[in-house]
Amino acid sequence: MASSTSFIDSHSHAEFTVPDRYHANRKGPVRWLFSHAIRYWCLWGLLIAGATSNALLASAIPILTGQAFNGILSHPPLLNILLRSAILILLSQLLRSGLQLLRNFSAELIGQRMERDIRDELYVSLLGKDMSFHSLRPIGDTMARATNDVREINFMFNPGVNLVIGSMMFLFMPLIMAPRYHPALMLAPAAFIVLYVLALAQYLHELQPVTRRVRDAFGEMNSRLAEVLDGIETVKGAAQEEQEVRRFEKVARAFRDAFVHQGDVEARFLPLLLLTLTNSVGFLHAVILFRRGLIDTGDVVAYMGLLALLGFPTFISLFAYSRVSSGVSAARRILELINATTHIDQNLGGYAGPMRGEVAFEHVYFSYSAETESVLHDITFQVKPGQRVAVVGQTGAGKTTLVKLINRTYDVSRGKLLVDGVDVRGWDIEALRRQISIIEQDIFLFSRSIAENIAFGKPEAGMDEIVAAAKAAQAHDFIMALPEGYQTVIGERGVTLSGGQRQRLALARAFLTDPAILILDDSTSAIDSATEDKIQRAIFAAAKGRTTFIITHRLSQIRWADLIIVLRRGRIDAMGDHETLMRTSEAYRRIFAG
């Protein structure tokens, strides 16, 4: 039996991978599902054996009942045949129940393990996608695929595929058993099977795009909900609750309409009519053979009981094939995420040495996609290890984008970006990012303890190291004032803390990892003046011996930079120290004048 594994296509680009233990075929949803399912061939063997025995033992009931009828109608009645039939029916159904338990247990295990494996594969794949992918992908839709669509695959296999296999066995039992009474009695079940397969093919052809629309509509509804909840403060602040309700009602109505359409397709399931016709024609045929003396009363009873077995595949397929179709549609949506293009690779085996902090941009251009214009144009400069660099410019000049190229949050479109003389694309990405810390204005903290948040980049850190980092970031005092100190669990995204407190925790996280390159993206914007002086000294001390990039408009931080880069519309407008730029750069003077 296979164990839980994570998967990643080793031939595709990914920022994060795990060692392959199993390779899933991602060339289509059906192939992908099959490549996962076949791993549990032992369980499939038990499921098929249980389904086959279930159908065989179910067919024993009409056969034994027919024999009992003949025993009763005999002159004199053969009560021993009736007793024997009753005992055999009891024993066969007890055995059938045990085998059914084994079959359903196998199906449940397959469904749960498929859900687990696919969830693992999707999670690893999402962690391996670059920021261009995540920036353009609605979070709500991704969550819908990672939760509800994955769950649909579980339901697809159990009860879906489980019932499909079971119903198929029932479908062929009347055809197999009918010749024991008369070969001509095969005609009705044979005709039903042919027409059933044709009707089922038409049903699935019509159902597949409908279930796809249902899954897509659910994703859109979930995206809308996630967006509103994420921006709930803005919605309430602008008193836009009523308008948001109307917008949500629109997508919810689209989901309802798609679901109703699916119900409409299911309601026109033709095999239900075929079953009625088959029972009527089969009964008429049996009566004709009885009138001719070719079969007896018990044979007619047994044959009609066998035809009744066709009711199970007919009625259950209305539900089972809908589950299968929904599962395939869900698999297609999940596979779209997994197969989505990502351009940044992990580069296992790349350069992973200790970083000195030398950075060089050589005619670098960057655009978010091939279809959009460049955000950065012909950026060229060099920073020596340990230098402090301030990047300034008006909003939208490309400052944040520029520094995010250093740790390969994004990749340059043209030109070269070298760290310690090695192209960043030649670095092992984990080794590169572990030695670079970025502190942004919008700080993300996890719903964990403060100690765990500080140690996020270095989970093996001891408590003494965590406290030292917090003290360096001027965060220790406010942490100790919290109810449980460093073990206080903060809310998601750190909503229970002030902006300044969140930024000090981010600084502590950066100090703990001891990076060779430190990037501060307007990281003291939410800190009050009294605290800012302490933070400035902490940053100044932390910057010693490491390359530091600062994006800020605060003159107090810019003045002590060794190199100031002025960006204007994605281009370098000027470079130099503060005094030189105040004399020579109009754009630089305008920043402080405004």
pLDDT tens digit sequence for 182-213: 999 999 999 999 999 998 888 888 888 888 88
DSSP code at position 350? S
177 or 2: which leads in pLDDT: 177
pLDDT tens digit sequence for 65-82: 998 888 888 777 677 888
Q: How is 82-110 classified by DSSP, letter by letter?
A: HHHHHHHHHHHHHHHHHHHHHHHHHHHHH
pLDDT tens digit sequence for 397-420: 889 899 999 999 888 989 999 999
Rounded Cα gap, residues 255 and 442, in angstroms: 34
State the chain's mean pLDDT as an integer: 85
Amino acid at 224: R
pLDDT at 1 over 60: no
Local confidence band at 215 (pLDDT 50, 70, 90 cut-offs): confident
pLDDT tens digit sequence for 232-280: 777 777 777 888 888 888 888 998 998 898 888 878 778 888 899 999 9
Tokens read off for 310: 């066709």
The C-alpha angle with vertex 227 and arms to 447 and 501, in degrees rounded to 5, equals 35
Local confidence band at 493 (pLDDT 50, 70, 90 cut-offs): low
Local confidence band at 8 (pLDDT 50, 70, 90 cut-offs): very low
DSSP code at position 379? E
In Å, the largest CA–CA distance within the chain is 124
Mean pLDDT (whole number) for 349-367: 91
Q: What domains lie within the chain, and their CATH numbers?
A: 29-339 (1.20.1560.10), 359-435+515-593 (3.40.50.300), 445-502 (no CATH)
Rounded Cα gap, residues 77 and 476, in angstroms: 96
Local confidence band at 594 (pLDDT 50, 70, 90 cut-offs): low
Rounded Cα gap, residues 298 and 295, in angstroms: 8
In the chain, the N- to C-terminal Cα span, in Å, equals 68
pLDDT tens digit sequence for 425-450: 999 988 998 899 888 877 788 888 89
pLDDT at 10 over 60: no
Amino acid at 542: A
553 or 8: which leads in pLDDT: 553
Tokens read off for 6: 């994570």
531 or 378: which leads in pLDDT: 378
Local confidence band at 29 (pLDDT 50, 70, 90 cut-offs): very high
Q: Residue 307: its pLDDT value, please?
A: 94
Rounded Cα gap, residues 132 and 135, in angstroms: 5
For residue 450, the surrounding DSSP H or E stretch is helix 450-454
pLDDT tens digit sequence for 134-164: 777 788 888 888 888 899 999 999 998 999 9
Compute the CA torsion angle 409, 415, 417, 422 (nearest 10 deg).
120
Mean pLDDT (whole number) for 462-480: 88
pLDDT at 11 over 50: no
